[in-house]
Structures are given as C-alpha cells and as structure tokens.
Structure 1
C-alpha cells in the first residue's frame, strides 16, 4: 500500500530529499513550503503523485486550512514530517525581539500548529506517523546558535509529551535529531544578528572550529527515514547521522560526568 506524506519545508534541503525519496518509493506527497516553485519540475516528473502546497507554517489559520487540503488531496495522511525551519545566527545579547519572535514562530510554533492540525485526521483513521525534525544540538546550546538550539529543544520536549498523548489513538511520534547536512540553512535559511564587535574574537574562534565543510548531502539521510517509516514499532527518538551519533553520546556523557562531580552539592537540598 502506498503511503501519503505531508512534508513541510519541502522545497529544499532535507524536506526536498525526503520528498524525492518518498516519490521514488512509489508513495504520494503533499509538499508544503512558502515558495513551491522549486518543486514544479518534480511535480511534472511525478504526475498525480505530488501536490504542491504554498504554506507559511507560522500562520496558524493557514496551517489548519492547508492540512485539511492536504488530507483531502489523497484521502488520508500516513507520514507527517515537521521539517520547516530557519536559523537565527548570532549571540544571545545581539538578537532583537523581532528576530527572536520570528524565529520561534517558524521553528517552534509552526511545528506545533502543524501537529495540532494533523492529529484529528490521524486520530480519525487510527494511524499515522509524525516525524519531528529537531537537531543533534537540541540537548544544549552552543555559542552563536543558541536560539536555534532553543527552538529545537522546545520542540523536542513538546514532542515527548505529544507522543504520550497520541499513542492511545494509534499515532506514532519520532523525534529526528538531525546532524549537520548541507541543507542551505546557513545561507538561504539564515537570519543574522547585528554583530557586536566585542564578540569578534569568539566569532573568529567559531569560524576556525567549524571550517568550511557544509556537511553531507541531505539525500544521504533519506534512506534512514524510509527505513524508519516502514517500522511497525518505530523509536521515540532517533539520531540521524553517524558522526552526530558519536557527538550526542559524547555530550550526554560529559553532562553525566558534570552531574556526578557536583552530586554532593545537589544532595544538600531535600527536593
């Protein structure tokens, strides 16, 4: 049986890679993005299997209407991928209120609006798999990308709660802790703060640390997702990327070590 996918942020990066992989598998896709023009050729290559949907996920009313249209396009929704996202790059002190609110409107609230809108459809059919694209860095902030990590961490926590809430309805939720892929997030998907010269040394250090490697092509992550959605009992969370797996485990080990080092201070309080 072919599956019906609803993918946000489908015009580029991981969303585009997942869209192409689903179509190649013979599935049908409703591909949502603010600008769906880049998907025109793909639609012509897969007549009747791809529906483009212009959608701004930060607009809650538009999301509800768009999800209803997506469900009606092929009669059901089987896999929902909350992938749309942007990057607010800069130090916490530098970020304006407007930048912060716009960032969370897409990366956090947008994903919540989509989740709220699809649940009634998935509950009515008694099945469905919701994939929440977070980040390998959702477990902790890092200089200059703290706002991005914060949005992903918020989505991560909400998704844990959501998974417990919808499991009785036959709905599965998997948190995808994505590694660093060449998605264009640091170029077309980036909003930068106004640099404060006092952070120039740190910025130089970060640039040296990161280098110019943009990461692997997003298509290399697609086979993992295709394997995942075929599982009868998928995991609640999944690190996507071999290098990222090692880094996440290292970060968790370092945090556990710090907890242990200060255990005596922690236990001074009875709570």
Structure 2
C-alpha cells in the first residue's frame, strides 16, 4: 500500500464535488499532492477551490444526467491533465417515499442521477483508462444497497442497479489493468438529507412513517465526511483494492446481519431450490415455435 505521503501526482475526476462527500474527497486528494478535475452542477465552490490551489484543480460545470455533457467534461479533463488515474462517481440524490407514492417522473429522476449518471461517467472514462492500461473507478454506493428499506425503495433500487453494473464493469475492465471498487458508506454529515426529495405521502402509510422517524431519531449514526475521505485514500493507495468496501461500524454489522439472514432463508428453502432443476434434452420445436434459435434460459 502506498501512503498519501508517497503520492505520485495522480489525476482524479470527481463528480458531485462541490459539497458533502465529494468535497471531502477533493480536499483529501489535494492534501495527498494530487491534481483533480472536479465536476458539479454548481461551480461556485469549485472555482474557489481552484483559486486556492493554482494549477492543480480543473473546475467543470456538468450535469451527470446529460450524457453529452459528461463525455465533454471528461474529454476536457483528459485534454487538460493528459491522463486520468482515479475516477470517483460520487454525484447522487436521495428520494424518500414509499414505493406506491412515486410518480413516474420522480422514479426516473432518481435513476437518472444515481444510476445513469454513473453509467455515463464510466462509459466516458473507459477509453482513456483502457488505452493507459491503468486506472481506478470508485463507485460511491450506499448502505441502501445492502437491502431494501421502507421509504427508500427507489433510492435502494438505484444503488442496487449501480452495484450490478459495477460488478460487471470490474470484470470487463480487469483485463485492461483498470480496477473498480464499490464503496458503501453509512451516515455522514452532508446535505444528502436536507437536499433530498420526497414523494407525496399516502395517508395509509402514516403509522409506518411515524415508526421509521422514531427509529431514525434513536438509531442514526452520522460521522465527519473527512473519515470517509481518509478511507477512500487508503482504498486508492492499495495495490490490490477490494471490489467492495464498507464504511462505518453500523454498515459493517448490518451487511453481515443481512447476509446471514439471506443464507438462512436459502438454506431453509434448499429442497425447493434444488428440486427446481433437472437437466433434460433440448425440446424439439415445430412451426412458429421454431422461428428463432432455442436458448438455455436463465433468469
């Protein structure tokens, strides 16, 4: 593992860098002696960061939901610095509400930012990283990707999708020397909750919502974003970074609890699972059924 003191002047590309975890990541990269391209829809804080670190910060105005804008911003960063070493997909948004309560527009907005935005960034940086034969893409996921929880169903869905994409990307990129890591943070004192969007409440869920508010008030743990940034530096300094990294004791314990519960359920239903599989010869199709190639089906 290489410490930040041994930095080799890496180049970072960080989305959602104007505030919260993204800003903490940017500050940590600069402290490590690296250079950064920082992207966000609000560029004021980025301009201030660039003024405080002449020649080391490239501020970029970018909306991650705009694919063309993402590709243009990445091209500008590569043109400016000549390469990319660490890409942090941090931009995200939290939408709260029961699954039934979301409109189509609200559901699509959640996926556009948390999933498609990260997809556009990954697609735009991969040609450069492949050509370099090196690089590290860090996907900032969430505790919400460990399982689905009441009132955060759409948020969890967007992070589940991000993690499925990232697992595939890790395997696709490995042959080119490009690494991918999924970071699952717990609570941090950012504006994620103050800037969150809420679906229109359905009265039937009032008792559940009240219980959730009580649980959150009694059990929430939020930390300084600098701790997440310190963990991120350890991750990108590692010569063999993990595919997944949990941030926080609460997330760590919850991950194991959920995994054990799933394994217990799978074991209890093992007889049903195994009985649902028995190899047979490929069926013969005639007429309209033979219109296409028969394929083994896995859902």
Task: Give the alignment's TM-score, normalised by structure 1.
Answer: 0.96
Partner of 1:148: 155
Question: CA offsets, 1:147-182, max 9 Å, x none?
Answer: 111100001011000011011111000111121212
Q: Does the residue aligned with 1:267 lie in a helix, a strand or coil?
A: helix
Contact 2:144 2:152 in 1 (8 A): no
| 2:241 is the counterpart of 1:241 | no
Deviation for aligned residue 1:259: 1.5
| 2:57 is the counterpart of 1:54 | no
Alpha-carbon separation, structure 1, partners of 2:217 and 2:101: 23
Instruction: Output aligned runs, 1:129-208, within 5 Å.
Output: 129-188=136-195, 190-208=196-214
Deviation for aligned residue 1:103: 1.1
Alpha-carbon separation, structure 2, partners of 1:84 and 1:240: 17
Deviation for aligned residue 1:42: 2.0
Partner of 1:270: 277
Alpha-carbon separation, structure 2, partners of 1:247 and 1:38: 35
Question: CA offsets, 1:102-156, max 9 Å, x none?
Answer: 1111100010000000000111111100001111221321000011111000010
Partner of 1:40: 47
Alpha-carbon separation, structure 2, partners of 1:250 and 1:49: 43
Deviates further, 146-155 or 230-239 = 230-239
Deviation for aligned residue 1:264: 2.5
Alpha-carbon separation, structure 2, partners of 1:139 and 1:241: 13
User: Which of these two proteins has the greater Rg computed from alpha carbons?
Assistant: 2
Question: CA offsets, 1:195-245, max 9 Å, x none?
Answer: 111110000000000117461121111111111111111111111222211
Stretches of structure 1 that go unaligned for 5 or more consecutive residues are none
What is the aligned residue count? 270
Alpha-carbon separation, structure 2, partners of 1:109 and 1:136: 19
Alpha-carbon separation, structure 2, partners of 1:249 and 1:76: 38
Q: Does the residue aligned with 1:221 lie in a helix, a strand or coil?
A: helix
| 2:104 is the counterpart of 1:97 | yes
Alpha-carbon separation, structure 1, partners of 2:263 and 2:80: 48
Alpha-carbon separation, structure 1, partners of 2:167 and 2:226: 27
Alpha-carbon separation, structure 1, partners of 2:184 and 2:259: 14
Stretches of structure 2 that go unaligned for 5 or more consecutive residues are 1-7, 279-299
Partner of 2:130: 123
2:89 pairs with 82, 95, 100, which one?
A: 82
Q: Does the residue aligned with 2:277 lie in a helix, a strand or coil?
A: coil
Q: Does the residue aligned with 1:132 lie in a helix, a strand or coil?
A: strand
Partner of 1:67: 74
Alpha-carbon separation, structure 2, partners of 1:16 and 1:214: 20
Alpha-carbon separation, structure 1, partners of 2:15 and 2:159: 15
Deviation for aligned residue 1:246: 1.2
Task: Give the alignment's TM-score, normalised by structure 2.
Answer: 0.87
Deviates further, 202-211 or 65-74 = 65-74
Runs of 4 or more, structure 1, over 3 Å off, are: none
